Structure 1
């Protein structure tokens, strides 16, 4: 579970307290300083399995606005193979 909140003052939110430590429960994460090749590799590894099955790191897959994945190397937009079905028995996610 994660708690997501909008931060109004990020500098104050991430400031250390008087003892030089971050607030309890604070999570710090970053991935800056990567060159283009490393950014593409990181992005590919974080993609869903179905994307890694159809694309390589060199395809530069990225999430497309409106859903699916855009392969930046060709400009092709690949829709997700997963669909949501709502029935009286429940909500199901199935592979199309």
Structure 2
């Protein structure tokens, strides 16, 4: 079975739905969120679409109503918010954060 072309509009998806789905997929990929993990959070916050339907949506095979798409976005954003904060570069007036472990700071 071949992978769907992610750059072509999916059959049955509106332009706004395609845009929303592309953003969801980028956010999930960037955060390392698995489809099953997304569905479990989505279902837990009141989503009513089954896991297979969400999988089909994520694979560009099924259209979902706006409310369900927004719940998927909310679920993804909640999972992203739970990820550990990334190390940020300090500004001149900031104190440099201490390393969280005993490893020495590596030279670049």
Q: TM-score range by the shorter chain?
A: under 0.3
TM-score by length of 1: 0.26
More helix by share: 2
Higher RCO structure, 1 or 2 (CA under 8 Å, sep 6+) = 2
More strand by share: 1
TM-score by length of 2: 0.24
